[in-house]
Homo-oligomer: A and B are copies of this chain.
Amino acid sequence: MLKQVLIGVMCGTAVLTMGILLGHYGIQKGSTAPSWVNEVAQDVDENLIEKFLAEVDNIQIQESLRTLTEMPHMATTAGDEKTVLYMLQRWQDPDTGLDQAWREEYMVYLSFPDPSKPNKVTVVNPSNIVLHMAREKEKTYPPGQEDPTVVQPYAAYSPAGHCKGKLVYANQGKPDDYQLLNQTLDLRGTIAITHYGGAGRADKAINAAPYGVIGVLVYTDPLDINDGLMSDINETYPHSWYLPPSSVERGSFNTHYGDMLTPYLAAKEATYRIPVENITGIPLIPTQPIGFEDAYVLICKLGGKAAPPSWQGAFNCTYNFGGPGFQPTSGFKNSDVKLDVDNRRELKNSSNVMGVIRGGVEPDRYVIYGNHRDSWVHGAIDPSSGTSVMLEITRVLGRMVRQGKWRPRRSIVFASWGAEEFGLIGSAEYTEQYYAKLSERTVAYINVDISVFANATLRASAMPSAQSVIFKAAKQVKAPGLVSTSVYDNWIRYSNRTSPAHGPIPRVGFLSGAGSDYAAFVHYLGITSMDISYTYDRTKTKARIYPAYHTAYDTFDYASKYIDPGFISHQAVARTAGNVLIRLADSLVLPFNCSDYAESLEDYLSTALVHFQDKLMAENITMEPLKEAVAKFRSAATHLDQVIQNSDLANEIPLKVRRINNQLMFLDRAFLDPLAFPDKYAYRHVIWASSDARLPTFPGLADAVTDAMSSGKTGSWRKVHHHLSILSQAIEGAAHTLTDVI
């Protein structure tokens, strides 16, 4: 029996084994799945995002900021070089560095004051006796610790020049300001004093020159920056965040972006440079910024008629036009203002620092995250608040990569741009040098320049398709200082709109200007971009911008005392922007919503119809092709949304998700037309190009109609029709990109 049992068991075992072998090897399951089948289908890992959010540290941000702001680091100075080395050190750190980091240099055209001949603004009487001299440098806090590397306040790219003339007050230096002034006064030979705001820096001088004005001064009126107070010295920094009387906003006085000698070409040593006399968009007359303590002295002594109420500022005197010149009753009677500007233009080597984390599945798809590194002085807020946020993101992600815990699906490129302050130069040269590659492969560009203007609420500007991923990220981050409120919920309280599709949502701005390094990505390359920061509670301050902007007071001390004590808003921005970054890099389907783009186009269209349709009809120009193009875009977007929803993309052929992602990625590229704006080829995106018309609608159309209305010429209406065709074709092209592939 035992034997039988044994035989039975043995037989049974043999049969079972045979069965197992048969079952395993004998029956085709299809072939074995290669190891990459799972990898290719992986979506963003929410646990990883949680981990990232937890690890972003405010103190790390604070310490990075401290290091970055040790020295003034104006572009191409020794301080700048120090920050280059610091970035490289951080990104090559064995424990928290990126896969690779390196520097790239461009030889770019910059403008500096001459330290041996400081620019001067003086009041001189007819006997050439100096009655007043404007302060050459801002006061130092704490006093006595003067830093020779703090650059004298100046107007970069203002020509050198020496001139003397009667002073006039020209408000903000807008075209209509000079027009009004010119109705009362002969402006020939005068020097105009203007205040910041209303017009671009360079425009204050460019607008002046045609009237014969020979020099321009610029200052910051306390009305615009110190919430209306003609602030006492004890009410301003270092006693508050407000602008001290001696403080001066520096800046680049140009209107185009990128190196001005090498348009559309990367500024390498042997690159062709246009003749200096062919440069456009910079002042033709000497220009110099001064502090409001000096502006006060000048303006309150001006003679002539009183300027209109809208021109009055915070000084405790009436702002007069100028006689031209000063009141005969003032100590400055018959005196001139003398302007001595000795700015020098130089070719200098400026570095971008680049770092990458190589993508594991789609290394040929880039998510680019960048900020400039150069400042005017210590640049704690502008730009180091953004750089320290970027460094915190790379620290946390770099560690995950170095520990082998994570590799993004797509490649991430981090960029620390050089020479932004002089005209977004580092980023523009980069896009020129790598145009083809970037255009083919870049999924998105995230810009975080000034990360914290103020600590009230998130602010974001973006292409409409990127709105949803910013919202998603903002919902997962706690608002700084608020226990149970998300950044999103806090944001919607401060700034919101009602979307036909989504109801009430935070208002996301557009990237139509060239205010930071996103410009080349948006306008030249057509890459879906976004700009993220924390900003003001507008019920609490009307300041044009945080008061220390571009002054010697934008320091670590200022930032940590008055902008973001504890660096928790910095932390919130790092968490939000980093979350967006991870989603862009890791999502299976790119988190872009093309229907949100359709909504913006429809908004633009309805504004255009309201403002332009009748005028165009009167000129026999139909807007039907534009309407049809927008309708086609909407229907293509709806269809693509359905395809995405109805597909099981994690299990279908991976080339299908790649195809859909290409449709989403190339959407903004389709809006480019390099010939759309013949007077500004660096602007190619027909939806977001800059515009003078200040209407929330298609910029080229708005500008062309404005021009046609004011000139009334047949040719100018032809230009309207021409641009309408360019625009309609581009929108249709974008619709084709979203439509099924054949």
Contacts and interface: CB of A to CB of B under 8 A. Distances in A.
B729 A265 contact: yes
A659 B19 contact: no
Contact of A718 (B35, B272, B736): B272
Nearest to A733: B436
A54 to B, nearest CB: 28
Describe A's contact surface by its main secondary structure.
helix
A436 B666 contact: yes
Interface in A109-160: none
Contacts of A654: 40, 653-655
Interface string A1-43: 0000000100110011111111111110111111111111000
A272 B432 CA distance: 31
A232 interface: no
Nearest to A13: B15
Contacts of A8: 8
Interface stretch (A209-217, A541-549, A571-579, A719-727): A719-727
A725 B265 contact: yes
Contacts of A20: 19-20, 22-23, 26-27
The oligomer's copy count stands at 2
A264 B675 contact: yes
A26 B20 CA distance: 9
A681 B670 contact: no
A499 B432 CA distance: 34
Contacts of A689: none
Interface string A355-369: 010100111101000
Contacts of A27: 20, 24
B437 A733 contact: yes
A8 B721 CA distance: 92
A270 interface: yes
Nearest to A264: B675
A363 to B, nearest CB: 5
A82 interface: no
A433 interface: yes
A726 B266 CA distance: 9
A624 B270 contact: yes
Contacts of A32: 29-30, 32-33
Contact of A725 (B35, B272, B364): B272
A29 B24 CA distance: 8
A618 B679 CA distance: 34
A741 B441 CA distance: 9
Nearest to A17: B19
A411 B736 contact: no
A275 interface: yes
Given A364-B659, A436-B736, A725-B271, A742 B23 contact: no
A8 B4 CA distance: 12
B268 A625 contact: yes
Contacts of A265: 725-726, 729
Interface in A210-257: none
Given A19-B20, A433-B729, A37 B40 contact: no
A413 B725 contact: no
B437 A736 contact: yes
A634 B209 CA distance: 52
B275 A718 contact: yes
Contact of A411 (B441, B674, B742): B742
B733 A435 contact: yes
A741 B411 contact: yes
Contact of A653 (B39, B275, B441, B737): B39
A741 to B, nearest CB: 4
A448 to B, nearest CB: 22
A22 B625 CA distance: 66
A376 to B, nearest CB: 31
A163 to B, nearest CB: 31
A184 interface: no
Nearest to A676: B264
Contacts of A669: 436, 440
A504 to B, nearest CB: 34
Nearest to A441: B741
A653 to B, nearest CB: 4
Contact of A19 (B22, B266, B272, B625): B22
A201 B268 CA distance: 43
A101 to B, nearest CB: 12
Contacts of A15: 12, 15-16, 19
Nearest to A681: B675
A39 B654 CA distance: 12
A333 interface: no
A31 B23 contact: no
Nearest to A665: B440
B722 A272 contact: yes
Contacts of A721: 272
A651 interface: yes
A526 to B, nearest CB: 9
A107 interface: no
9 contacts: A11-B12, A32-B33, A33-B33, A33-B37, A34-B651, A272-B724, A275-B718, A411-B742, A437-B670
Per CB-CB distance, the 3 closest pairs between chain A and chain B, nearest first, are A19-B19, A23-B23, A436-B670
Interface of A: 8, 11-12, 15-27, 29-40, 99-100, 262, 264-266, 268, 270-272, 275, 356, 358, 361-364, 366, 411, 413, 432-437, 440-441, 622, 624-625, 651-655, 658-659, 662, 666, 669-670, 672-675, 681, 718, 721-722, 724-726, 729, 732-734, 736-737, 741-742
Given A15-B15, A39-B653, 20 more contacts: A12-B12, A19-B22, A20-B23, A23-B23, A24-B27, A31-B33, A33-B37, A34-B653, A40-B653, A271-B625, A271-B725, A363-B659, A363-B741, A364-B662, A434-B736, A436-B672, A436-B733, A437-B733, A437-B736, A440-B669
